[in-house]
Amino acid sequence: MESNIDSRILALAIARMVDALANSFLVVVLPLYIGSQLVSLPAFVGTTVQIGSIPFTLTAELLIGIVLSLFGFLNSFGQPFTGLLSDQTGKRKLFLLVGLALVAVGSAGYIFFTDYLSIIFMRALQGIGAAFTIPVTVALVNELSAADNRGGNFGLFNTFRLLGFGMGPLIAGGVVAAGPYSMSSIGISLEISGFDAAFIIAVAGALLSFMLIAALITDPEQADGQAAEDISIRVRNADGSGLDPVFALGVATVVMALGLAIYAPLANSINARLDQGTFLFSLQFGATVLANVLFQLPLGRLSDTYGRRPFLVWGFVLLIPATLAQGFLTSSILMIVARFIQGIAVAAVFAPSLALAGDVAGEGESGSTLSLLTTGFGFGIALGALSSGILVGFGFATPFIVATVLSIGGLVLVYTQVGEPPTVEQPAPTPGD
């Protein structure tokens, strides 16, 4: 198996890492920013409305949830369209640059506009920008890969992406807390708040990614616009024998991402249940990211040698108990272990899933084909973040039980509907097998 790293894929991975670091800043900073006195909120915040016979208070937390979810939903629902358009035009690089520019403009807008509606608009702009970049980036990784190194390349790409995503929240809190920053030491009579400093870093990250893409990436020859003419999704196999494997993987990816995303919104409930502080919660949250960083590349490369399907199946087998345990554990240390195991399971599923979709994608159709998986992941994250806060009202373990049941469904779906693509060579059997 070829283990050399393509410099273009490394450039894409580094650009995605920088962009993910900058964007994950906002996951931490925006809730703090909206909850501060710096943002003017709508007058209806704090009022109570009647939904049937149930009173419902319109809180600032609800507004924060809307902002965070808006990015995920626009990002997810936009990807099939941008993926298809990039296939039809073959202009991968142009789509990447447009998307990164929109993300940078949105980050800069937070500095100048301090009312809630403007923040909604800026976050929507960033969600649209991400819809331009994500499917096109994975399409490029796919088109620059061969069947015998595709899993490893996607593992490398996801490793860098998750490094950026994992480091961002850790750095962001410190940047905000250490503000304001005086510029007098460099001869400028200006003071920058911690929030503005975080937004400036987010802008700088998007611009750095923009420059890396502009300088190092070119459109591959095979991205020649041979995609279908419409946005229709193939649900069933061409021979009618079952579900299309990429569609099945897309649904399974929604389930996997939902189980991953239900943890963060429950921070206060988890800390109270485990009698712990924010530091231990951050370790638990980061354990999943760390496991992904450590295992994406080796598991992706192993799937190049031993096939995609075993990793998909066993990844879901591992995901089920790791998710369920989180609803019943009362030890902070055991929660870290469960989250780490969940991260291994996600790593075992995601890189081989992208590689399998790339194996079966037609020439010039990488954007539209792989966007089913990236859309599923983004939609699952957004859905998990929204649903966990609702489900926890029925008991702490409820979100985890629901996610576990859905994961069992994902396992059944993968086991029955996803076969090994013919382009992945299996190891030859030994004599006597």
Q: Which residue has the higher pLDDT, 213 or 49?
A: 213
Residues 223, 139 contacting (CB under 8 angstroms): yes
pLDDT at 189 over 80: no
Query: Where do runs of H (alpha helix) occur along 36-180?
Result: 60-89, 92-112, 116-143, 150-178
1 vs 284: which has the higher pLDDT: 284
Q: How many residues does the chain have?
A: 433
Least confident of 61-65, 143-147, 188-192, 416-420: 61-65
Return the percentage of the chain with pLDDT > 70, whole number. 85
- 302 versus 179: which is more confidently predicted? 302
What is the number of alpha carbons within 13 Å of residue 110 lying toward its C-beta?
32
Q: Band the pLDDT of 258: cuts 50, 70, 90.
A: very high
Question: What pLDDT does residue 279 have?
Answer: 76
- The pLDDT value recorded for residue 428 is 46
- pTM (predicted TM-score): 0.74
Q: Quote the pLDDT of residue 225.
A: 47
Q: What is the pLDDT of residue 426?
A: 47
Q: Given phi > 0 = left and psi -120 to 50 = alpha, else beta, which region is 275?
A: left
Mean pLDDT in residue range 69-96: 85
Tell me the C-alpha to C-alpha distance, in Å, between residue 72 and each of 55, 127, 179, 382: 28, 7, 29, 5
- 240 confidence band (pLDDT: 50, 70, 90): low
Token code pair at residue 408: 């069992």
